[in-house]
A and B are shown apart, each in its own frame.
Chain A
Amino acid sequence: MAEVRASNPLFVSIDEHAPSGEPISMDTMVDPFTPLRKLAEQGPVARGLGSRFGNLELPNFWGHHEDCPSVAVLSYDHCLEVMRDGELFSSDMFAQTMEMVIGRSLFCMDPPEHTSYRRLIQAGFTPAKTERWTDEIIEPTVLRAVDAVSGKGRADLAVECTSLFPWEVMAQILGLPAADTDFVADRLSRMIGGAKNNPVDAFMASQELRAYVAEHVARTRENPDDRFVSALIRAEADGQRLDDEHLAAFVMHMFPAGLETTFRAASSMLHLLLSNPDQLAAVMADPSLDPAVIEETLRVEGPATMMPRTATRDTTLAGLEIKKGTVVFVMLATANRDPGRWSGPDRFDVHRPARPHLGFGAGPHTCIGLHLARREMSALLKGMRRSLPGLRWDPAVPVPPITGWSLRAALSVPAVWNTPNGV
């Protein structure tokens, strides 16, 4: 099992360090919510310097200057206010980091560039388009992944299931030839996994992957089909179309944005259900609870705990003056557990009244793959109900916690279930 884990890129980038270089303490990795809530008790927006907010050090994975004034936005309403205004609160800092590796795509753009580009890409991601993937790709792939372990009666579902199907789903959506998937998986593994330990190799792998993706896009342009990449090639808005470079950058963007997040959310969903056996029993008996399970998972344990922005001009937020150039940490983790919005906000409760959360962000940069992610999670619940009866924690192993400071996940979900021959 250790080998499976070592060869899977989704498990490699899990060590987190503070900007000072100190590893994040295990206490904070397990529960970042308590120190963040202490900060929130002082008000909806806290002032800091670089990543430092008093004793608390927030991550700096997008490379802002540590002597730069900063704020942490902690309440639901103010996080929403920041995320809705993509002009005032820019995403340009990603241009110095992620753009170097994967090319210029939606994540680092601001309006109006973002608006026209997103409109074109959105054509491939509408609910009706993702609905088509459900029967053709998502359900068969996810159910196959669940069925592959079901006969064993015991598995680490994060290692043997949820870390595998997001990649298989994406390879089919992109229409990658089966013969190429090993090459792509290898470069992807080196790109995501090597980012910290072997940045030169990670960069080389990313460039090889970019060249491959560019070829795939050019090939699809010559031989269009009715799949996703062709739909993007055909997309037109206001007389504009996507050129090959933008299209290739977006496909590159889909790898980190669509694989790791889906794996993390799906694993955490299983973890939360296994940790709440009454709710798991209710969900096993009643598929109509599935949407609530998915949304409640994304609220309490959404993969991303924070999003960075930069103020493009002087402004005020919650009455606080904010200077142009201020780094703005949008703290999704506290917004989604805002006690003014949810009662007992730390509790996972699939029966609570539905209220929107910021697990997919908000505003112009709202996760473009949100329907895809929901459908993969929904298919996993269907597979669980069908093929993993009596699902529960493996009593032989201590329950591993959900961990993460900037990105959270249940990286291990050791479970047992009933099989016809008994476990």
Chain B
Amino acid sequence: MVRVSVDHERCTANGVCASVASAWFALGTDDRLTVDDRPVTPAHLDLVREAVLLCPTQALSLIEIEEPSRR
């Protein structure tokens, strides 16, 4: 599983990620990016991956995380 990590030093609020995958990324009125930091659900994975690739400042990355243990 993966989750999204943001480098806020690099992010300049282009808003490309939010227009590609609005379920996962949102820019506030203060131009600060908010990212859903939960494991990316399979339904959103393709668009989140594309958003990461399309970030103009390469501020986004996907990190592998351990499968959360169930029960």
Chain A residues close to B by CB (< 8 Å) = 80, 84, 115, 118-119, 122-123, 125-128, 354-356, 362-366, 368, 370-371, 374
| Interface membership of B54, Cβ < 8 A | yes
Q: Is the CB of B54 within 8 A of A362?
A: yes
Neighbouring A residues of B5 by C-beta, 8 Å: none
Q: Is the CB of B31 within 8 A of A126?
A: yes
Neighbouring B residues of A371 by C-beta, 8 Å: 15, 19
Neighbouring B residues of A356 by C-beta, 8 Å: 20, 47, 50-51, 54
Stretch at the interface among B22-30, B34-42, B63-71: B22-30
Q: Is the CB of B31 within 8 A of A84?
A: no
Neighbouring A residues of B28 by C-beta, 8 Å: 128
Max chain A C-beta neighbours (<10 A), residue from B12, B14, B56: B56
Interface size class of B (residues with CB under 8 A): 20 to 34
| Interface membership of B53, Cβ < 8 A | yes
Q: Is the CB of B12 within 8 A of A118?
A: yes
Taking chain A's interface residues, is the majority helix, strand, or loop, or is none over half, making it mixed? helix
| Interface membership of B60, Cβ < 8 A | no
22 A-B pairs, CB-CB below 8 angstroms? A115-B57, A118-B56, A126-B13, A126-B14, A126-B15, A126-B27, A127-B13, A127-B27, A128-B13, A128-B28, A128-B31, A354-B47, A356-B47, A362-B53, A362-B56, A363-B56, A365-B56, A366-B14, A366-B54, A368-B14, A371-B15, A371-B19
Q: A126-B27, A371-B15 are known contacts; what are 15 more A-B pairs with Cβ within 8 Å?
A: A119-B12, A122-B12, A122-B14, A125-B14, A127-B18, A127-B27, A127-B31, A128-B27, A356-B20, A356-B47, A356-B51, A363-B56, A364-B57, A370-B19, A374-B19
Q: Is the CB of A366 within 8 A of B56?
A: yes
Complex CA distance for A167 and B31, rounded to whole angstroms: 27
